[in-house]
Amino acid sequence: MSVTDRLLGDRQRLAYIASQAADSRLNVELETEGMTLNIGPQHPATHGTLRIIARLDGEQVVWAEPSCGYMHRGYEKLAEVRTYPQVTTLVNRIDWLGSFANEVPFILAAEKLMDVEAPARAQHIRTILFELSRIANVSLFLGDLGVQMGAITPVFFAFRDREYVLNLIEGATGGRFHPNFDRIGGLKDDLPKGWIAETKAVMKKLRTFCDQIEELLFGNEIFQSRTRGIGVIPRDVALSFGLSGANLRASGVDWDLRRDHPLPMAWNKADWKVWTHPDGDSFARCWVRLQETREATKIVDQLLDTIPSGPIMAKVPKIIKVPEGEAWVSTENPLGEMGYYVVSRGELGPFRVKIRSASFNNISITPWLLRGVYVPDIVTILASLYFILGDIDR
């Protein structure tokens, strides 16, 4: 008996029995006929081009399988022919809604191999930009969530307020979506004048946005009935599939890499809270993300007050050669655990880079999770798992 079968909940077990019955066409009572439903590759719920093939028995999914690869760009191979500073340009495009957060773990891995640490000021600004990209990323999710369930209003709120954050990122880094701002040993530039005051004002707006979404969406009866008790992931299954980020915390696992894995970043300089939810359903996943957005605004606010003075670059050679070795660094990205396993051979570029992206694991649970759900719930479950295609296909 496989581990997933052993851990099947009652609801899933019943659905599985129904699926078996449909498979052998024993379901004569209702006289339903099996049918294959193709969702995507172009579908608003897929944030890119994910295709889902679902076999249905009436309204119930018997078997579902996501088909990825429409966006595979082969970054692991490309990284092998690039130098270390060039790789950040590639990894920017993995999760394109929170690009800066993709650069950080790679840069930290290279710094770990070189035994270099960024100055305190650079660490602070890195953390602030990291959390800003989380806010930009997750606020889109919160708006988009409504659209999946037929509520149009939240998406306008989300796009309006996300724009403020993107403007801040653009102001500091020069790029709205792909900053490419992180350097081995520090940052490209210091913050522009007036940026801190502006950021504080925007953070206040974002907290209002979170309150509005909480009232508009999370308090909405239709939203609750569409998400509560739907797509339940038990704790052990979530761990076994390697779910991370808010998806894992929504299943009751109190684990946040920002708090639990010491990194040369400034998260431990702020006072904040890791939110978990015991339910593990779609609602819990959305709720945890909302709380995290609010928490991120608080982190940014506190760190803005305590930015230390000093340089933003450590002393690094002009031509970066990384000593031989292997290093792994993962951070808590907007989508979950994002990590790079960098193998160096003492050359200008990495020998091998394994990119562990969050969405790949998060979406690998869908064949298990979608078995037995009803057709309209496919979209809400996918929306609550929250993936980005660039993050699955790399």
Partner 1 sequence: MSSSTGTQLRITSAEDVKNALGDRLVESFQKDDLWLRVRTDAWKSSMRTLRETLGFQYFCFLSAIDWMPSPFGRGEDDPTEPAPERDTTIRPGYAGGATRMQVFARVSHPITHVSVFIKVDVPDYSPALESIHDVYAGANWHERETHEMFGITFTGHPDLRNMYLPIDFEGHPLRKDYPLLSRMIKPWPGIVDVEPLPGGATDEGGDES
Chain contacts with partner 1 (rule: CB under 8 A)? 2-4, 7, 68-69, 72, 74, 76-78, 80-81, 112, 235-237, 239-242, 253, 255, 260-261, 313, 315-319, 321, 325-326, 328, 330, 337, 339, 341, 343, 345, 347-349, 351-352, 354, 356, 360-361, 364-365, 368, 393
Q: Which of 95, 311, 97 is nearest to 106 (CA)?
A: 95
Select 307 or 313, whichever has its Cβ closest to partner 1. 313
User: In the complex, what is the shortest distance from the CB of residue 250 to partner 1, in angstroms, rounded to a whole number?
Assistant: 14
Contacts 24+ apart (CB under 8 A), 143-149: 143/213, 144/47, 144/383, 145/217, 145/286, 145/383, 145/384, 146/216, 146/217, 146/223, 147/44, 148/44, 148/45, 148/379, 148/380, 148/382, 148/383, 149/222, 149/223, 149/226, 149/227, 149/380, 149/383
Find the distance separating the first CA and the last CA of the chain, reported in whole Å. 33
Select 77 or 204, whichever has its Cβ closest to partner 1. 77
Select 112 or 226, whichever has its Cβ closest to partner 1. 112
Select 14 or 348, whichever has its Cβ closest to partner 1. 348
Select 150 or 346, whichever has its Cβ closest to partner 1. 346
User: In the complex, what is the shortest distance from the CB of residue 203 to partner 1, in angstroms, rounded to a whole number?
Assistant: 30
User: In the complex, what is the shortest distance from the CB of residue 236 to partner 1, in angstroms, rounded to a whole number?
Assistant: 6
User: In the complex, what is the shortest distance from the CB of residue 103 to partner 1, in angstroms, rounded to a whole number?
Assistant: 19
Select 234 or 376, whichever has its Cβ closest to partner 1. 234
User: In the complex, what is the shortest distance from the CB of residue 350 to partner 1, in angstroms, rounded to a whole number?
Assistant: 10
For residue 169, is it left (φ>0), alpha (ψ between -120 and 50) or beta?
A: alpha
User: In the complex, what is the shortest distance from the CB of residue 191 to partner 1, in angstroms, rounded to a whole number?
Assistant: 18
Do β-strands 336-344 and 325-333 pair in parallel, antiparallel, or remain unpaired? antiparallel
User: In the complex, what is the shortest distance from the CB of residue 160 to partner 1, in angstroms, rounded to a whole number?
Assistant: 36
C-beta of residue 189 within 8 angstroms of C-beta of residue 115: no
Q: What DSSP assignment string belongs to 254-309?
A: ---HHHHS--SSSGGGS-------SS-SHHHHHHHHHHHHHHHHHHHHHHHHTPPP
Select 116 or 202, whichever has its Cβ closest to partner 1. 116
Alpha carbon 251 to chain centroid, angstroms: 16
